[in-house]
Amino acid sequence: MRADAKRNFDRIVEVAGATFRSKGYDAPLDDIAKQAGVGPGTLYRHFPTREALIDAVMQNWIASVNESAEKALAHEGDARDRLMAWFEEYAARLTVHKGVAAKITAALGDATSPMANKCQTYSTANAKVIDSLRSEGAVRPNVEALEVLRLIGGIASVADQGNLPPEAVRPMLEVVADGVLR
């Protein structure tokens, strides 16, 4: 990619990220192009679909998911402390971009979704946390990692739509943690 094309690409992704955080993923793409200082044709040349632009915006966000799971597992404390560290991190990540919590949660388990790669990244990270705690004997035997992910995503969706602060989200996450653990 030429240097000017790379600058345009990076600028579009930067502006789109800020716009999606403030206005949601349905924000007009032409407005994003204008704010990025490029024409609509330039935006569509780099990102032929809205999903392609969303994917580019989310790449940095997704890249650190596994790191977050590892960090939660290394968290000091008992199984509940580690699980809560993961839940809080996951819910916080889902609410960074307005509207994404509901989109990702709805797409969990749907291999045909444009969000499938992101969902799989989250599913794998969540399973790693749940399986690690299960190997310690801390997780109830009937708990499925995907169900847990959907519950936390549902809480994140409520937090996102209601603009709830983290201190209002934590008690809901604690209810799920108490149901997951023995």
Give Cβ neighbours of residue 138 (< 8 Å, ≥ 6 apart).
79, 80, 83, 181, 182
* pLDDT-flagged residues of the chain (< 50): none
Please identify which residue in the block is written with the tokens 């790693």: 128
Among residues 58, 79, 69, 87, which one has the least CA distance to residue 152?
87
Supply the CATH classification number for the domain 3-58: 1.10.10.60
Question: What's the confidence (pLDDT) of residue 118?
Answer: 81
Distance (Å, rounded) from C-alpha 22 to C-alpha 96? 10
| pTM (two decimals) | 0.74
Alpha carbon of residue 147 to chain centroid: 16
Domain ranges of the chain: 3-58, 64-180
Asked: is 64-180 a CATH 1.10.357.10 domain? The reply is yes
Question: What's the confidence (pLDDT) of residue 117?
Answer: 79
Average pLDDT of every residue of the chain: 92
Distance (Å, rounded) from C-alpha 176 to C-alpha 1? 46
Distance (Å, rounded) from C-alpha 84 to C-alpha 42? 43
User: For residues 52-74, b (16+ Cβ closer than 10 Å) or e, as one string?
Assistant: ebbbbbbeebbeebeebbeebee
